[in-house]
Chains A and B, each alone.
Chain A
Amino acid sequence: MTGAASEPLLQVRNLSKLFPVKGSPFSRTRETVKAVQDASLDVGRGEVVGLVGESGSGKTTLGRSILRLIEPTSGEVRFDGVSITALSARQLRPYRRRMQIVFQDPFGSLNPRFTAERIIGEALDTHRLARNRAERRDLIVDLLEKTGLGAAHLSRYPHEFSGGQRQRIGIARALAVGPDFVLADEPVSALDVSVQAQVLNLLRDLQRELDLAMLMVAHDLGVVEYIADRVIVMYLGRIMEVAPARALYSNPVHPYTQALLEAVPRPDPKARRSRTLLKGEIPSPIHPPSGCVFRTRCPIATTECAEVIPPLEETAPGHLKACIRR
């Protein structure tokens, strides 16, 4: 069952997700939102990959399609050497245990009527990971301690916790079943800065300790820089650039990545400068531009950019870009 150790744990090939939208009742063609188009990526064992983009880039849809929380329209997801795209719900179950998710909203993602013990315990019960009550409790306490909480928090309800503590419970729940891969979907963006750093450090420490593979979806490029080994940049449903974190931040190749990094405000008043701002706004994903989806806002676009969909090509080892002008 298990793939070769050298093979990436997660392989996504040509994944697309189209959402049908209600068109005019007189129109015959069903229109679709092209949320993700033709996305391919790998996440290695123990590797942290950041998936960044603005609203409407498709980063959340891509993440959830990988876990089959949303069914992809086409494409393939291979996990540990096995294609999980066509598995039935029953066949998928062992993979559900191995692939977990941490959600953005620490308020909406915990059942307000369950105690912390029950929230974490449910994950253990679903996958029958505890042999008896005593073992179950020990496991839960252990998880709470790992995430910086403790046995004193077992019988508390979500409303009794702060935002940061709730996110710790969300992390404990994800880790309860011993996953190999965690999708962290904007795990710190709802938190205050002073608490965000605590949760980021916790995620990084646990990831290293457990040698987890992680795909972290985020809009905050600083957060991703801190935690990711490699970074994938998306725009309007397509992957624009993939690179090792340091290379992406110090030497972005794609004009969209450059503009995105340029737009991030620096906490340094001396760096205040007049910048080349990206003009206009993200086009509709129902009718994305032909060719390169970024061309309508791109400072270096030519007529050719409207004609060909730029393939992801390697510019340096491990550094890919989808741009025919660079």
Chain B
Amino acid sequence: MNEAPPLLSVRNLRTHFVGEEETVCAVDGLSIDIRRGETLALVGESGSGKSVASLSIMRLLDPASGRVAADEIVFEGEDLLAKSEAEMRAIRGNEIAMIFQEPMTSLNPVYTVGEQIAEAVRLHQDASPKVALRRAAEMLDLVGIPEAAKRVHVFPHEMSGGMRQRVMIAMALCCNPKLLIADEPTTALDVTIQAQILELMRTLQQQIGMSILFITHDLGVVAEIADRVVVMYAGRAVEDAPVEAIFEQPRMPYTQGLLRSVPRVDRFADEQEPLYAIPGSIPSPSRLPKGCSFHPRCPHAAEICRRSVPELERVAQDHHVRCVRWREIEAPREVPA
């Protein structure tokens, strides 16, 4: 058992979007713990609520439309729900940093990358402009940008997508955050560049000792980087487990289906066997099926699944699943490699 309290603890997070005609529940009762130094992956397809959950935790949703409620959101022993907007601003970018999918739109096109990193340093660490710019150069060097001292003077459009994502990481890490929230940070990148960025994130995590909340739809990336995994579907966590258990003994039929539907380069498709496909499509958050949201697409669905939303049940140490039938469903046999 891990004795130290988690770095971030979220209990029963609920996020609603209020529209003119209807209110949509985007995140329904999400609870997660992120331990010190670990990488927790939040995995899901479009509409699963994974990005909304992270924005809710950071209190970055427009309060006019996104209503966030939770029993508790505790970071480093402090209740984030009780913080004022000014206090949140001091935490964001300093103790909790974020990087996003699109490094072009996340950078300001009219400032050099050095100025943008230096701004973060000055805001949070009270450094002089000169010291801040030197720190920016150090950070660019740390994230593997060649000739960092010169590159502080270039503009974002003069860099490639991979280099811009390195700049985003440099900016995120310049204040030594305890938690990095990375929302699909490699999705827009080519695989060879993605491999470089993942490697960089792993190395920096070991150096700095930060925790990472890694949001992605890509199971391959999850296997590369995560220590623990939370799988989301239609706004709810449906399974959480250490990374090995998610891939070797997934218990939720959705997780099982997702793993089987990824075409892989390391196993040959049998010429006759079609790729497994989960039938149907992801439900719209305004028209969620009754009971288990996954039941219309589930090969194991029974009458009981239509009646009520299943609770998260404990399968093993650190492994939970939201399926009433998990005991009856055989864990998949390991597919021979």
Contact = CB atoms under 8 A, between A and B. Distances in A.
Do A and B form a real pair? Answer: yes
Interface of A: 54-55, 162, 164-165, 192-198, 200-201, 204-205, 219-223, 225-226, 246, 249-250, 259-272, 275, 277-278, 281-282
Interface in B147-206: 160-163, 190-196, 198-199
23 contacts: A54-B191, A192-B282, A194-B257, A194-B261, A195-B281, A197-B275, A201-B275, A222-B262, A263-B191, A266-B224, A266-B265, A266-B266, A267-B219, A267-B222, A267-B259, A267-B264, A268-B247, A268-B266, A269-B223, A271-B266, A277-B195, A277-B196, A278-B195
Nearest to B233: A194
B61 interface: no
A266 B277 contact: no
A209 to B, nearest CB: 13
Q: Which among A54, A205, A269 has the greatest number of chain B C-beta atoms within 10 A?
A: A269
Contact of A269 (B193, B243, B257, B268): B243
Question: Nearest 8 pairs between A and B by C-beta?
Answer: A265-B220, A197-B277, A197-B261, A54-B190, A222-B263, A226-B263, A263-B195, A194-B278
B105 interface: no
Contacts of A205: 274
Contacts of B301: none
A222 B163 CA distance: 26
B45 interface: yes
B192 A193 contact: no
Given A201-B274, A268-B223, A192 B192 contact: no
B163 A281 contact: yes
Contact of A261 (B247, B257, B265): B265
B223 A162 contact: no
Interface residues of B, number: 48
B45 A267 contact: no
A197 B217 contact: no
B192 A277 contact: yes
B275 to A, nearest CB: 5
A261 B263 CA distance: 14
Nearest to A276: B195
A194 B192 contact: no
Given A193-B258, A265-B223, A269-B244, A260 B191 contact: yes
A206 B229 CA distance: 37
Given A192-B46, A193-B217, A265 B263 contact: no
Contact of A260 (B162, B192, B274): B192
Contacts of A260: 191-192
Q: Which among A201, A262, A263, A268 has the greatest number of chain B C-beta atoms within 10 A?
A: A268
B103 to A, nearest CB: 14
A198 B263 contact: no
Nearest to A162: B281
Contacts of B162: 281
A275 B258 CA distance: 26
B265 A249 contact: yes
A100 to B, nearest CB: 23
A266 B244 CA distance: 13
Contacts of B220: 264-267
Interface string B262-287: 11111011000011111101100000
B221 interface: yes
A197 B280 CA distance: 11
B218 interface: yes
Q: Which among A259, A266, A275, A278 has the greatest number of chain B C-beta atoms within 10 A?
A: A266
B317 to A, nearest CB: 17
Nearest to A226: B263
A194 B282 contact: yes
A192 B217 contact: yes
Contact of A223 (B160, B196, B219, B263): B263
B160 to A, nearest CB: 5
Nearest to B266: A266
A193 B45 contact: yes
A59 to B, nearest CB: 12
Contacts of A271: 223, 266
B7 to A, nearest CB: 22
A281 B160 contact: yes
Contacts of A249: 265, 268
A19 to B, nearest CB: 19
